[in-house]
Amino acid sequence: MNKKYGLLISCAAILFCVFLSPVSANSLGLIKGVAYSPHMPGEGCTEFGKANYTQDFEGMKQANVNTIRTYDQVPEEILENATKYGIGVIEGIWIVPEGDFSDESFKDECKTHIKEIIDRDKDKPCIKGWCIGNELDEGNVRYVGIEETEKFLEELYDYAKSLDSNSSHFVTHANWPPLDDLDLSFFDVISFNIFSYWPPKVANRGYYNYTRDLREKYPEKPLLVTEFGYSTSPVGPGNGGYGGNSEEEQAKLLKNCWEDIVNAGCTGGIVFEWNDEWWKNECYGVDKNTHNPDDPEEWFGMIAIEGTEDDYTVRKKRAYYMVQEIFGTEDFENVRDWNTDMGSQDGGEAYVRINQDSGWSGQALKGEHKTTTPGSWWCVFKTLNQNWSGWTRINFYYKEALGSGD
């Protein structure tokens, strides 16, 4: 190996070790996920068995999905398929959103459920992390109190960590905009379900701006968007709203959200969701037997489910092919920073900049940038499966190649 390039690699490696060693977004990679609740017609929210898991995971793999999110414990067959197809799992641990978070008996019930799931699945190779709870009830949180709710969630976080010593597994909670005033910085990963059309604070601020605000609120922690999506229900406002979107609109809007998620510096996002769910929102009633045209909740899937309870088919919507496209794009593409003068950046992301003549352009170097210095061309590279958001930027100049630098 040429001596000067060997030195460059060594120095870059040292910098990475020094600046990027803590558990962070770097260790997660860019999460390209889908929410997976494979409840077929006739199945409620706790019933499994009709779905073809192998077919689903083959489809996910082809769509470049690398992670699924579940909402509670799932059959082990699902985890076996995830392992087989190399897809990570963020396993949900359901917490009653309207529970009394200050009540010790309720806490004990939550801990019992946490232990049941973690003890069964912590050694399964597909597990990436645990998501404790989803969208706590806002009214209930206001009644119990912000501080009491934070203490409740932190206690559950500490308990989950005590059960799983695997440092590569993270623990998070899927929060949502109505409760963005909760301080959940104790979690390993900050997670939010963010939909562009609701609530008004998101719609008015704009998807990118709101997501970026969250990223800046938690600069030391990875930010994961645990739900984003659009419903194709026949009845609804359409135009990017809650339901009534065409399948073409759904696909285009998912792409827009994904680009905003990446540009905002998130560690990834999870499309809501893989398949339409007929049961919503009546887990144990007869709603699971029909696909209601006026219920947007039943039509978020990338996979359409059509027919009747006893005779149904599955079909890939346009959204499936769009997700396949955007998840197949290298991480460095569609990022706004590539089109700006790197010399004027404020930091917040770690880059290594080296001379284009290094000869690596067919391997690690991604993108080309002309500095303000006439005739000086630079390349910027970003390790493909990493996300450096939240770290101080590294400006690395190779002195011998340029004759100057720092």
Interval 286-339: pLDDT, tens: 899 999 999 999 999 999 999 999 999 999 999 999 999 999 986 544 443 333
Distance CA 275, CA 167 (A): 32
Distance CA 73, CA 197 (A): 30
Rg (CA), the chain: 23
* 76 plus 114 within the same structural domain: yes
176 domain-assigned: yes
More confident residue, 106 or 23: 106
Using 50, 70 and 90 to split pLDDT, how confident is the model at 35? very high
pLDDT (tens digit per residue) in 88-146: 999 999 999 999 999 999 999 999 999 999 999 999 999 999 999 999 999 999 999 99
The structure tokens listed for 311 are 């005779």
225 domain-assigned: yes
Distance CA 280, CA 222 (A): 31
Distance CA 334, CA 255 (A): 11
46 domain-assigned: yes
Q: Which of these three, 267, 299, 327, is where a domain ends? A: 327
293 domain-assigned: yes
Average pLDDT, the chain: 82
CA torsion 236-238-243-249 (nearest 10°) is 150
Tell me the CA end-to-end span of the chain in Å, nearest whole number: 24
* 206 plus 281 within the same structural domain: yes
Question: Which CATH number is 185's domain given?
Answer: 3.20.20.80
SS3 label, residue 129: strand
* 153 plus 273 within the same structural domain: yes
14 domain-assigned: no
* 113 plus 188 within the same structural domain: yes
pLDDT, residue 24, reads 55
* 232 plus 288 within the same structural domain: yes
Distance CA 126, CA 137 (A): 30
* 118 plus 44 within the same structural domain: yes
The DSSP bridge pattern shows strands 268-271 and 31-35 to be parallel
The structure tokens listed for 343 are 């010399």
Distance CA 177, CA 224 (A): 13
For every residue of 208-273, DSSP letters joined together read HHHHHHHHHHSTTS-EEEEEE-----SSS--TTSSS---HHHHHHHHHHHHHHHHHTT-SEEEES-
CA torsion 75-78-83-85 (nearest 10°) is 170
Beta bridge pairs of residue 171: 130
Distance CA 205, CA 294 (A): 28
* 281 plus 400 within the same structural domain: no
383 domain-assigned: yes
Max Cα-Cα span within the chain = 75
* 371 plus 304 within the same structural domain: no
CB atoms within 10 A of CB 345: 13
Amino acid at 44: G
Of 211, 138, 209, 218, nearest in space to 183 by CA: 218
Q: Which of these three, 293, 327, 361, is where a domain ends? A: 327
pLDDT, residue 233, reads 98
More confident residue, 12 or 261: 261
pLDDT (tens digit per residue) in 253-293: 999 999 999 999 999 999 999 999 999 988 888 899 999 99
Beta bridge pairs of residue 275: 303
16 domain-assigned: no
* 79 plus 226 within the same structural domain: yes
Using 50, 70 and 90 to split pLDDT, how confident is the model at 346? very low
Q: Which of these three, 295, 327, 359, is where a domain ends? A: 327
Of 80, 98, 90, nearest in space to 31 by CA: 90
pLDDT (tens digit per residue) in 179-219: 999 999 999 999 999 999 999 999 999 999 999 999 999 99
Burial label, 89 (beta-carbon count in 10 A; 0-12, 13-18, 19+): buried
CB atoms within 10 A of CB 103: 12
The total domain count for the chain is 2
For the segment 207-236, the average pLDDT, to the nearest whole number, is 97
* 293 plus 364 within the same structural domain: no
Helices of type H across 85-137: 104-121
* 317 plus 384 within the same structural domain: no
pLDDT, residue 378, reads 34
* 361 plus 288 within the same structural domain: no
State the residue range of the domain holding 163.
25-327
277 domain-assigned: yes
The structure tokens listed for 285 are 């009633």
